[in-house]
Structure formats: C-alpha cells, structure tokens
Structure 1
C-alpha cells in the first residue's frame, strides 16, 4: 500500500473511533479503543518508515509515482486530448489523417453519412461546421435527442436534411470523402469544441434565401453555407 493511502486509512480509522467514543459516553478510559489503535498505528508507521528508508531512491520514486501508464492508455489519452482542446484541433486533412482510423456505432454512421451528402463539397472547416449544427440540434431539447433522429427528421412535408428523402440510394461512392467525413464525425462525437458556428442550429447554401433565415440570428458564413441560431 502506498504511503498516502496508509496515512488516509489510519486517519479515517482514528477519526471514526474518536467519533464513536464521543457518541458512546459509557466507554471507559481503561478500555479506550482509540488509545490502543493509536499505539498500533504508531508502531505500524514506525516500521514502514524504516522499511522505506532502506529502499533505493529509484524504488521510492516508483512508489510515489504509482503504476506506470501502459502504451495503449497513453495513446488513448493523447487521442482524447487531441480532439477536446481548442488549441490542438486543426481544420485540415493532414491533421485528420494523423488520427486513429475512425469507427463507431449507428450514431457515428448517421453523422458521417450526413456530412458526406450535405457537405462533402465543402472544405474541412465547412464540414466541421455542419457537424456542429447537427450536434447542437441534438442538445437543444427542441429536436430529437440523437444524431440519427436529427438527420432523419421530417417536417412540413419535407426532410430536415434533403438526402434522407430524395429517393436516391445513400451510397458513399467517393472513398476519400467518406473517410474525411468519418474522421470528422468521430472527432466531433468524441468531444471536439464547437467553436465555428456559435451554437448554430440551421444552415443553408448561398444559392437560396429561405424565409426562416430572416427570423434567426446569423452566426457564421463558412464556404458555401450560412449558419443561424434560433433566437
């Protein structure tokens, strides 16, 4: 047991016993359990101090540092930090290519599919922005609370994302674009900061001017898309 753990256990035990002595006033001083325990802990700590003092300096350092982090855990932490720190997220294909091969569940597949069909013609930043819109909708409380629910939602005789109801087969025929979409989806689901669209829940291309855009707050303009947030 490491030193600080032993001390923690000892202190907790003494405090607990002291509390018991206060609560139970009939405990006699001649049979005080805290006195016995205190002497036992003093003996224990004295023995441990001597044992630790006899160890080589490098061994003591290892005891203080704790068990080493495995290579896999280290790699997992590096990947996690790489996508959750705003300073480390880079909107480039080179940065995305350096991340682990993406994979995921049905929600990840729904997000990568939406990015492919809605924004594969955009730059990397534009695709990240569309991902933000979808995830903002998931969190809004106004739209379905899952990625698949959001991208497949219908309404007013149409679909929120046109590719889901255009009667065409959703085949991602461009492997490179599909790979980029999958990597962006993985990064965003894993917690990358949504720092491009200021909470946008809607977007449209510059080629159109939908009526709803007049009542929403415009938050960003990225590539061919305009982004808006509900007031």
Structure 2
C-alpha cells in the first residue's frame, strides 16, 4: 500500500497521542500494530482503509475520541511540542518505509498497562511483546 502525506501525518499524530512517553522504540511498536491492521486483508471492511483510515476508525485508538485529553493536540487545535512530533514522524516514516523491523511479531492489538484492568479480549489472545507501558497481542478473537 502506498502511504499518502495524510497517512503519514495521521499516523504520527496517533503515535504521539498513544505513546508520546514511550520513546522511538515504543512508538515504532505502536506504528507496526497499525501497519499490521492496514495490511491485514480485512482493512476495507473492518479496520479502515490505509493508515489514516485505520487510525481514525471509531473507538480503535482512544486519542482520536473527542473526549480524550490528547484530541485537542492531535486534531491540531493545540500544538504538539516540535521535538516530540519529530520523533513520532520518524517512527511513522520508518514503519511506512519498512526500514524498522516489526518488534511486535505481527500484533494487531495492544493495551496500555496504565488502564485499570486488561481488556476482555486479551485473555484469549496471544501476547507477543511487552514494551514500556504497552502489551501487544495477535490472534485476537
């Protein structure tokens, strides 16, 4: 799939909103989870189409929910700090280009360990990675 400028920008904004405190390695892992959804084969009917479509699909990434405190930043109403946004763009570029390997082992899901409890789907899924404050999964039912 060819990524557009919008795909790159929306992916970087999503990485900042979901993992701004994780550093480049953690943002790359989140970006691979998104790329795995883009390339899943069900993209048009399930996840959304392309990086922007997957990132902005309703209720998939909480930073795009209007009640999320990060939403005002990622939608452009407030400025994301330049150095943080540059790191998110670097992660997005590496994953889109395929120059960074997938550390998640094909994960299509993750959750933040800062959540009060794990989501129900995690109990039956295969955990592939724990990195920073995120746990990654594939084979989610």
TM-score (norm 2): 0.81
Q: Which runs of 5+ in 1 are unaligned?
A: 1-103
Return the match for 1:202 from 78, 96, 109.
109
Q: Secondary structure at the match of 1:228?
A: strand
Q: How many matched pairs?
A: 124
Q: 1:172 to 1:220 in 2, by over 3 A?
A: farther
1:118 Cα shift?
Answer: 0.6
Q: 1:127 to 1:172 in 2, by over 3 A?
A: farther
Return the match for 2:85 from 171, 174, 178.
178
Select the structure with the greater relative contact order (CA < 8 A; seq sep ≥ 6).
2
For the aligned residues, what is the CA RMSD?
1.5
1:205 Cα shift?
Answer: 1.1
In the aligned structure 2, how far is the partner of 1:172 from the partner of 1:204? Answer: 26
Q: Is contact 1:116–1:172 with CA below 8 Å preserved after alignment?
A: no
Runs of 4+ with deviation above 3 angstroms: none
Residues 176-224 of structure 1 show CA distances to partners (whole Å, capped at 9, x for unaligned) of 1001101111121112243300000000111331101011110000011
In the aligned structure 2, how far is the partner of 1:191 from the partner of 1:151? Answer: 18
Q: Is contact 2:36–2:108 with CA below 8 Å preserved after alignment?
A: yes
Higher helix proportion (structure 1 or 2): 1
Q: Secondary structure at the match of 2:39?
A: helix
Residue 222 in structure 1 maps to residue 131 in structure 2: yes
1:141 Cα shift?
Answer: 1.8
Return the match for 1:122 from 22, 29, 43.
22
TM-score (norm 1): 0.51
Q: Is contact 1:126–1:222 with CA below 8 Å preserved after alignment?
A: yes
